[in-house]
Structure 1
Amino acid sequence: MTPALTGFATGFSLILAIGAQNAFVLRQGLLQSHVFWLCLFCAASDAVLITAGVAGFGALVEALPALPLVMSLGGAAFLTVYGITRLVAAWRGGEAMEIAGRDHSLMRTLAIAAAFTWANPHVYLDTLGLIGAVSTQYADWSARIVFGAGAVTASFVFFFGLGYGARLLAPLMRSARAWQVLDLVIGLTMLAIAWSLVAGVL
């Protein structure tokens, strides 16, 4: 497999699992709210981190042993708060549908996306750690750059596909019950990720 295809497959497989960031993009896609800028922000953030990982930035973690602990606890706290808000919305039922229809400002949407992206230790593990580690199999820098470009392309394809593809589910999300189920799933996902972060450092 060529470096480009290896990079694409590696990046796509790592980002495919539904996580906090992906759940947020899915929800905004269903609302059709700031989809382009949100997808661009998430993909561009991944591009920066993947580039840093391929360039060897992972050495920073080795230089600062306490960094994973700080990142994990901070990320867990944020995910717990957001997860609880979604569970509350699911419990309220009818109000959840009303809240879902409200359009947050672009800046608030990007701020939430930034927290999900830059305060999530899993993002650093996948981009700086795993993708960076896989890239070391290429001794030639030109091949390593092509590998990184493939991984970056995977992020753009995934986020824009998720954001705009969510519209296909829009007809199913017209009822308050559907939003309750979605908020319940998202809330439980956030709490599960938060727990895994804490359990991983204890």
Structure 2
Amino acid sequence: MPNSADVFHRPCPVPVATTLVSSSRVSSLTLNRSADLFASTSAEDSFVSIGTTDPESGVFGTSTAQLKCSKRPLCALFMDDERTKQSLVLIPLEDYCYVLTRVMHFNRASIESAFLKIVTIPLLEYLGGATSLYSWLGCMVAAGESRGGVTLWDARVNESVAHFTTSSLNAKRSVFAVDGAARVLALAGDSGMVHLYDIAARKEIVKKKISPSDVKVTDG
């Protein structure tokens, strides 16, 4: 247990820049791997804000654009496509997902034009829509659903390849995490239960009650 002197002498994070991306509460925020682009969604707006960042100076938001969606997106995620060496923005909307490829020379016109030209890809084969996303290896995406399950999407075959669910009769917005090696998926169930799944084998490993109430957050 650190003493009070240790706590007070630790370095404190200091904000180096701020920018306004929405008039309502920001509900999700994502950076690409090189940290020179950000994307965000908000609680009341039917668009995704995307803009530039400078990882060296800390300045961000000097160029921004709003990507209009047919409905309010719940989240957005950057994924680096290992095949094309591009940054992709994944924007889930109900049972499909918009994909925006990286625009090398960022400006408002080019980013909006690129968004309008792209096609949609299937992301979820189960109803409910995606409420959260996690990506690894530049090709795999885990999409948490509003009805409690998690669907895996493989960019190499452009389709969903697995679905994990706790078969709860009282399904809620999914809370899940993937470990650092992308071997195990943890999915919260009812009344404090957590289910662990072998991602490669597509089967449950174990389940255990870790809390007297519903688990709200998990981390790999």
Higher helix share: 1
Q: Structure 2-normalised TM-score?
A: 0.17
The answer to which structure, 1 or 2, has the higher relative contact order (CA under 8 A, 6+ apart) is: 1
Larger radius of gyration: 2
